Structure 1
Amino acid sequence: MASPLELAHSPCPNDTFAFHAWTAGLLPGAPPVDLTVADIDVTNGMAARGELDVLKISYAALPYVLDRYALLPCGGALGHGCGPLLLTRTACAPGDLAGRVVAIPTERSTAFLLFRLWAEQALPGREIRTVVMPFDRIMPAVRDGEVDAGLVIHEARFTFHTYGLHRLVDLGEAWEERTGLPIPLGAIVARRALGAERLAELATTVRASVRHAWADPEASREHVRSHAQELAPEVQKQHIELYVNEYTEELGSGGLAAVRSLLERAAEAGAVPALPPGALEPVPFAR
């Protein structure tokens, strides 16, 4: 029997839902897998060090790992109306952020790229200071006045009202208005050294896992809950419905255009390295 592949993804409901069928052995003929569940900043670091076979990473981290990893055409997180939010303790205007401190989860994240691109348009030439903070500390820090604003992702879209916070800007909405493209958040990458045939089989396995999750959502319910105990069941459901969508099943030309646009704009802003020609082409599905 072949050695299990090493897979790492986040504890977020979209990932635990989409990958459950594969990791639980519910897909006949799928390669065996050893799962690591870790926050996205951890998986970004794993990919940068080339540690595992298959990882969920931020699209912002993709330019740094394309020499070792290929983009899979499924399993990731893109969509409409699902972008990061910039939150404040009291209602204010974008210009009020000049000279202020904004808490961010990590500098190597799509959320931070979208924030930088928005700030260049909304606050040209104005300084905004940032401080990196664990994502679960950001909303309490804004509420308690430790920072002036906070950049939040995922389930915070559904829970920020409970902290009494105000949405200054929906950065995903700003991206969509500017580009007309979906919002690229998280990518699935696999080690290039696995070879073209195995990479194609992996892509087909991940797509099958997503389809199985949709066909039998009850199968993954306990697995999802066990990794998202801080979320109410209705929030878990909202999270999955928003982030597991057509682009999770297959990136497609629209999803790839969004990824390319984000990374090219970010490279022009000096936020990420420029992409080598052809490096972004995703793995094909097995025939």
Structure 2
Amino acid sequence: MKLTLGFSPCPNDTFIFHGIANRKVDTEGLDFEIFMADVEDLNRTAFEGKASVLKLSFHAYAHVSADYLILDSGGAIGRGNGPLLVSKREIKLEDIDNLLIAIPGIYTTANLLLSIFRPMAINRKVYLFSDIPDAVSDGEAEAGIIIHETRFTYRAKGLIQIADLGLLWEGMTGLPVPLGAIAIHRGIPENVAVSVNRIIRRSIEYAKNNISETYEYIKQYSQETSDDVIRKHIALYVNNYTEGMGQEGREAVKDMFRRAADAGVIPVPGQEIFLSPDIKKGL
């Protein structure tokens, strides 16, 4: 069976999917057709409902939950790894409502978190995530939300942190922050979906056991090719929740959806959103 598989060129995704993309692990007879795209492009691909399996923001998932289920493995959930709000000057979070803020996409979880914490900060402009530090540094935007590799390099642009939206989330909920999910189309049989989840976990294990080889693959696509940046990126975004989100991860997702729906940011998912809450079913 052939499945399309989409993910971003960011180090955590290429780390996770190297084993699959380069046929290093057993794919249980499944044939994956790989495509890469920026996170917001992946989100919009999910809206079209054409991809079999793809990485997407949890914000976007809430809008496509009728078509996709969230897999247990491969996602980005964690503590201390949320989006950062930055600027060239010291600004209090409560004073940003009238500023032009650069965001990495309408349907990114970064934008959702901004809507939760500063709903009146509506003057937002979309940039490719890697262009946001320059946009803020050059004065095109007065503040910006940074994600992925730029989280580790923004200070070199003369920028300072205004707020850590992930830590604000953790402080408010006590839960890890859900950033990105791996979702599979509901039209795919459950036994195949379970196999995909198992294959992703196998690919993660392969990457951990073959670091040098995996880094060479990562560097082909990463915005930053420094070993130090790549190592920090993977350490932050590939964690225990990546191998399996578990009960706490699922609670964090449901809590985010509840709060965002109450704020009018997303529709309320109308059905079961996880492949299976029972991790004993071969996940």
Structure 1 residues 118-148: Cα deviation after superposition (integer angstroms, max 9, x where no partner): 114xxxxx55411112222211111111111
**Distance (Å, rounded) in 1 between the aligned partners of 2:72 and 2:39:** 19
Alpha-carbon distance between aligned partners in 2 of 1:100 and 1:265, rounded to the nearest angstrom: 24
Aligned to 2:14: 16
Aligned length in residues: 279
* Contact 1:197–1:286, Cα closer than 8 Å, also in 2: no
Please tell me whether the aligned partners of residues 25 and 32 of structure 1 are also in contact (alpha carbons under 8 angstroms).
no
Give the AA of the match of 1:190. Answer: I
Other-structure match for 1:25: 23
Q: Where does structure 1 differ by over 6 angstroms across 4 or more consecutive aligned residues?
A: none
Match in the other structure for 2:282: 286
The answer to whether the aligner puts 1:111 opposite 2:110 as a matched pair is yes
Q: Distance in 2 between matches of 1:61 and 1:134?
A: 16
* One of 225, 229, 240 as aligned partner of 2:219: 225
Aligned with residue 166 of structure 1, among 141, 160, 173: 160
Would the alpha carbon gap of residues 271 and 29 (structure 1) be closer, same or farther in structure 2, given more than 3 Å must change? closer
**Residue number in structure 2 paired with 1:123:** none
Query: How much does 1:229 deviate?
Result: 4.8
CA distance in 1, matches of 2:50, 2:21: 19
**CA–CA distance in structure 2, aligned partners of residues 170 and 252 of structure 1:** 24
1:198-209 equivalences under 5 Å are 198-209=192-203
What is the distance in 2 between the residues matched to 1:135 and 1:29?
32
The code of the aligned residue for 1:146 comes to: E
RMSD across aligned positions (CA): 1.5
1:231 deviates by 3.4
Tell me which of 188, 193, 200 is aligned to 1:194.
Answer: 188
Indicate the SS of the match to 2:248.
Answer: helix
| TM-score computed with the length of structure 2 as normaliser | 0.94
TM-score (norm 1): 0.93
- Percent of residue pairs identical: 37
Tell me by how many angstroms 1:32 deviates.
2.0
Partner SS state of residue 45, structure 2: helix
- Counterparts of 2:151 and 2:223 in 1: how far apart (Å)? 17
Supply the distance in 1 between the matched residues of 2:35 and 2:117 (Cα, whole angstroms).
Answer: 34
Partners of 2:10 and 2:268 in 1: CA distance = 29
Question: Structure 1: any 5+ residue segments left out of the alignment?
Answer: 121-125
Structure 2 counterpart of 1:174, one-letter code = L
8 A Cα contact 2:4 2:51, kept in partner: yes
